[in-house]
A and B are shown apart, each in its own frame.
Chain A
Amino acid sequence: MTDTQRIRNFCIVAHIDHGKSTLADRLLELTHAVADRDMRAQYLDRMELERERGITIKAQAVRLMHDGYELNLIDTPGHVDFTYEVSRSLQACEGAILLVDAAQGLEAQTLANFHLARDAGLTIVPALNKIDLPAADPGAVAKELADLLGCDPSEILQVSAKTGEGVEELLRAVVERVPPPEGDPSKPLRALIFDSAFDPYRGVIVYVRVAEGELRPRARIRLMASRVETEAEEPGVMAPEATPVDRLGPGEVGYLVTGLKDVHLAKVGDTLTLAGKQGAGEPLPGYREPKPMVWSGLFPAEGGDYPELREALDRLKLSDAALHYEPETSMALGFGFRCGFLGLLHMDIVKERLEREFDLQLIATAPNVEFHVVRGEETVVVHNPAEMPVPGTYDRVEEPVVFATIIAPSDYLGAVLDLCESRRGEQVDMSYLSPERAEVHYVLPLAEIVFDFFDQLKSRTRGYASLDYEPWGYQPADVVRVDVVLHGEPVDAFSSVVHRDKAYVYGKQMVERLKDLIPRQLFDVAIQAAIGSRIVARETVKAKRKDVLAKCYGGDITRKRKLLEEQKKGKARLRRVGRVDVPQEAFIAALRVDEGGAGSKGKK
């Protein structure tokens, strides 16, 4: 166990694309944590999906040894969907490198992360990255940053994570400026779980930061919020590959193989202590259940895959405390789950992991936010459009709003304001970071920004604007449920709750899409969008008139029969809604969030 005076726990916070993962790679190299031959770009982004999308989803912790110091680097996610995970990892640190792109300057997430880090009481080590870029303007950006931090520009380090320039100095500053952790090894064990993972062979693995006491192999331990006891099978550190240790003491960061098999017990944010009388009485502060912002129904395309989907969600939930799900039954799609996500990117990632890692094909219903339906004294929480009561049976509906921070070049300010106004935004304030860059704050309905807002923002500002937002409570909303009715039969999977002004557009878009997706049947199929009993849009799929093999001679009956058998198999894959046969693909395609609409591909 290292003397706590020689431990530094730190993280890197940055706006996305400002070079955090590249800096982490350099730190690994500089401290020889990874043999050169094993080095690969974005070493810490362990998940295949992460490296493809170039974003960091799961926080990771690595022990680096440097000049006799034990430096624990806790990597944090950089997307606005994952603010909760950022705040978890911040609590495992005493310091944070605030990394800013010397060409881009401050961005919305720079500010958001700075505030999070400062609120968590962390020592900030400010650094400019990408100083080797021709477009870099270290002087101006250092001034912006110094203004924000209230420090002298000379305290801001200058690095190029790409070339390695200044990285040594940065590491020295971390050792000098970040305080060592405090904690009494003789007190009862308290350790913060800031991440978890599931290993098919070893069960639940948690990543912990020990606050007080000591964690030793084979100790009986207790997870305080989950109220579950188990054995500390193997404590260890990531160096950066898993390496068992004899004990983890105060201030140390590492992993623990728990022997737990149940996926729901290892909650991120929980406190780990010893079982029985040696255990701590009070957990560490700050644990809260992460709150889903966006909901969607996930259904197996093959109805028989429901048990597999449940199993897969159980597995994912283990390493993704923010994922919520509950069973849901749809008339059209059968058995599935109503799932809650932090945002659309999170939803996309979960869906993609389910499909990729568990080999499932899924249908996701249109994502929606959570509404509060107020009736007298009573408030009903609705996160499934099917549960939205009909108008007239309640006093009002409230929708979630967010406090959004947008930073954009002054030239594009008008475009930004237009966008926010068109999304029912209410301006809070506006200020200039410099003559060229403005910062505006808006309160916006979450439903308005969750889908394509970010892409619109980027396209209207040529990519220069940045966005961050945080939950800001609920406000009354004029929303209605739009149903899609297929040949007289409402299709619950296509229902959505939207603002009254957009109901017509939504309805029209859905019926137009479905017109092209639903194959012609033996009768005319009416596709209607309705608000209550009022039809707002209608299309018709005309009856099919011809479906016959033209030629059947020359003796090759086998081929004709096989064609019919193929057609029969195709029919078996259709889902029947009332009298109408609907292919799986129609559900998938109709419910696909617009290309470029979800705005959730790639880095933000």
Chain B
Amino acid sequence: MSAGLYVHVPFCLTRCGYCDFNAYAGLDHLRSRYVTALVREADLAAPAWDDEDVVSIFLGGGTPTTLEVADLEAVLRHLRDRFPVAPDAEITIEANPDTVDLDRLATIRAAGFDRLSMGAQSFDRTVLAALERVHEPESVRRAFAAARSAGYENVSLDLIYGANGETVDSWERTLEEAVALAPEHVSAYALTIEPATPLGRKVAAGVVPAPDQDLQADMFNAACEVLRDAGYRHYEVSNWAKPGYECRHNLGYWERRPYLGLGAGAHSYRDARRWWNVRPPEEYMSLVEAGTPPVGGEERLDPSDAYLEEVFLRLRILEGIPASWVDDDRADPFLASGLLTLDNDALVPTERGMLLLNELVLALTA
């Protein structure tokens, strides 16, 4: 079965106020020890995965490009040695505009990473400031041009909308700037306030207003329109791609195909079991160095868990669910109100339906 490999790099130059990922600034001194641990964990895990067909590898973070290029190359080479990685596998690396230049991008490309996912977030200086991102809009354009010069033919831009102070107009300008660069793939996320982040605390304290959900809905609609007009296909709630450039790795999560996560806090899934590594990098490294799988927790999916996942993930990727899964009287009100459409006997959310996906999922699985 086709599987994915995820490698987590928990290092960042600075922490952004909205981010609740397992990432740390100021742990750079652990980098080479961490790379060794990744290699070791791959050795521990690989035997169990040798009957899978690895079709994607994704280096995420944190900021993977904070690692030395030689280390990135070594990790990738080791994964190819140890796992049955398909020759045409999609190999993605995440990058922040400020951590890359032409030289670096070229060597990373030469090391085998052929897809670049760039954390642009916005082309509006005030929005970047509200997100506590350290880069300037100009760095995104420069890094993007560098990526093209380095030979990347599959680049994705990550965007975030709905930060404090952003208007629909400024968001549309960001979308147009992004489209002007002609990336193969765009991810556009509504800013979500996570309680355990500096921004979450500011919102809780009333220092920063919580994002206006109606405004974010308008921004979502604007994204749909601008990106559709520019030739992108909306294939997941927050993801658009030129035909054939959908992110194969992320589709693996949404299609509930197996994946193995390596690194601190990384998540894995296989055979109705989900498990995840311990989050603190030091704890992760110590366990791996002792030859112990660094698992921090797991859950076994019972059929109702699996069904709920199946429904909400299928609806997210617009594959929809077979109409036969749901009683007509559950689905009919949503077909009538235009949140769902029927496409080849599948119930598929409309654009409005995508915005109310939680409601759809709860109603259809109640």
Interface residues, chain A, CB within 8 Å of chain B? 522-523, 542, 544-558, 560-561, 564-565, 567-568, 571
Contacts and interface: CB of A to CB of B under 8 A. Distances in A.
B213 A546 contact: yes
Contact of A522 (B308, B312, B359): B359
Contacts of B361: 564
A549 B359 contact: no
Q: Which bracket fits the contact residues of B?
A: 35 or more
A551 B261 contact: no
B248 to A, nearest CB: 13
A568 B356 contact: no
B6 interface: yes
A560 B6 CA distance: 18
Interface stretch (B38-46, B97-105, B214-222, B283-291): B214-222
B354 interface: yes
B148 interface: no
A558 B266 CA distance: 12
Interface in B328-362: 337, 339, 352, 354-359, 361-362
Contacts of A557: 253, 267, 269, 274, 309, 313
Interface of B: 6, 21, 60, 189-192, 213-214, 216-217, 220, 236-238, 250, 253-254, 259, 261, 266-269, 274, 276, 299, 305, 308-309, 312-313, 316, 337, 339, 352, 354-359, 361-362, 365-366
Contact of B276 (A544, A546, A556, A565): A556
23 contacts: A522-B337, A544-B213, A545-B213, A545-B352, A546-B216, A546-B217, A547-B213, A547-B356, A548-B354, A548-B356, A552-B238, A552-B254, A555-B6, A555-B269, A556-B267, A557-B309, A557-B313, A558-B267, A558-B274, A560-B312, A564-B308, A568-B362, A571-B366
Contacts of B358: 547-549, 564, 567
Contacts, number: 100
Nearest to A570: B362
Nearest to A547: B358
A555 B308 contact: no
Contacts of B276: 556, 558
A263 B357 CA distance: 53
B316 A552 contact: yes
B269 A547 contact: no
Contacts of B313: 552, 557
Contact of A555 (B267, B305, B316): B267
A548 B309 contact: no
A558 B306 CA distance: 10
B41 to A, nearest CB: 15
B356 A550 contact: no
B188 to A, nearest CB: 9
Contacts of B21: 554
Contact of B356 (A545, A552, A561, A567): A545
Contacts of A546: 190, 213-214, 216-217, 220, 355-356
A555 B22 CA distance: 13
A522 B357 CA distance: 12
B141 to A, nearest CB: 25
Contacts of A556: 267, 276
A556 B316 CA distance: 15
A553 B269 contact: no
Contacts of A561: 305, 308-309, 312
B299 A558 contact: yes
Contacts of B269: 555, 557
Contact of B237 (A552, A555, A565, A567): A552
Nearest to B316: A552
Contacts of A542: 214
Contacts of B339: 522
B357 A555 contact: no
Contacts of A545: 213-214, 217, 352, 355-356
Contact of B312 (A547, A550, A558, A564): A564
Contacts of B190: 546, 548, 550
Contacts of A571: 362, 366
A393 to B, nearest CB: 39
A590 to B, nearest CB: 23
